[in-house]
Amino acid sequence: MHFYRPLSPIKAVTFDLDDTLYDNHSIINKTEKEVLRFIREYDPQFSNFTTETLSMFRNIIKKKQPCIYHNITLWRWLSSKTMFGHYGYSSKNAKKGADDIMVHFTYWRNQINIPLSTHEILKKLVGKVPLVAITNGNAQPEVFGLARYFQFVLKAGIDGRSKPYCDMYQLAAKKLDIEPQAILHVGDNLVTDVKGAINSGMQACWFNLNNKTLIQKTNTYLLPHVEISQLSSLLLLI
C-alpha cells in the first residue's frame, strides 16, 4: 500500500466493477466469442462474419452518434440493428434480431465467478460504511451475487456520462447524502477512476492490478490518494 495524498475520514466507498472486483478481460473475451458464434449461426448470410465485421457496424454508429460510447449497451444494440438492416431485414425483424443478440450477450457477460475472498472483504466493509458501485460497463451485479453489498449501482448511459466525467460520482454523493471528500472511490483505471473521482472532489484509491509503476504510466494525470494491490488492504483503511 502506498500513500500519495493525505486521506480524510471515509464515510462511504464507491467501487468500479470491471477489473476491480473481478477479472473482466477473460469474461469479455469469452462473451465476444459466444456472441460472434451466435450471429454466425443466426443466418447463413452471417456465417463468415468476424470481429472486424461487427466492429465495422459499431463504427458506423459511432460516426453518426459520437457520444454513444457513454451507453455501450445501446451502442451494441444499435450496431446489431444496423447490421440486420444492412442485410435486408425489415425494421421490426432487425429490432428482434438485435434483441436476440442482446439476450445472448447479457447471458455470457454475467457469467462471472466472484472469488470467495472478495465476498468476505465486501461483507466486512458493508458493516462499516455504505458501499456503491459505479460502472461504465454493463455487468449486472444482481446476477452474479454482488448487488447485495451495494446501496445502489450507477451505470453510464443510464445515470450519466461515463467516467471520468463527474456525473455519476456527483450523483453517488448526492444519493448517499455524503460530501464527496468523505467518499473513497476504488478502481483499477487511472483515468476513469482516479482522475474522475478526484475531479469530482472524492478521494481515490487506485487498485494496481498488474504491478504497474505509477510514474511510468504516460496517461497518469492525477495521483491517487492511495494505491493498493490487494482488495483486502481496504480493511486497513476503512
Q: Is 90 exposed, middle or buried (0-12, 13-18, 19+ CB in 10 A)?
A: exposed
Q: How far apart are CA 165 and CA 12, in angstroms?
A: 20
End-to-end CA distance of the chain: 14
Whole-number minimum distance, CB 192 to Mg ion, in Å?
Answer: 7
Closer of 180 and 196 to Mg ion (Cβ): 196
Closest separation between CB of residue 20 and Mg ion, Å?
5
CB of 115 to Mg ion, least distance (A): 16
The residues binding Mg ion (CB under 5 A) are: 16, 18-20, 188
Nearer to Mg ion, 19 or 167 (CB): 19
DSSP H or E stretch at residue 84 = helix 72-86
The one-letter code for the residue type at 157 is G
Cis peptide before 164, with omega less than 30 degrees from 0? yes
22 DSSP 8-state letter: B
Q: Which amino acid, 13?
A: V
Residue 16 known to be catalytic? yes
Give the residue with the Cβ less far from Mg ion, 38 or 144.
144
Least distance from C-beta 138 to Mg ion, angstroms?
13
CB nearer to Mg ion: pick between 102 and 190: 190
Q: Where are the beta strands (DSSP E) in the chain?
A: 2-3, 12-15, 131-135, 153-155, 183-187, 203-207, 226-228
> Rounded to the nearest whole angstrom, what is the least distance from the CB of residue 189 to Mg ion in the complex?
5
Q: Which residue is nearest to Mg ion (CB)?
A: 19
27's CB contacts (< 8 A; 6+ apart) are 108, 109, 111, 112
State the cell numbers at 43: 443466418
Selection from 232, 191, 186 nearest residue 207 by Cα: 186
Catalytic residues: 16
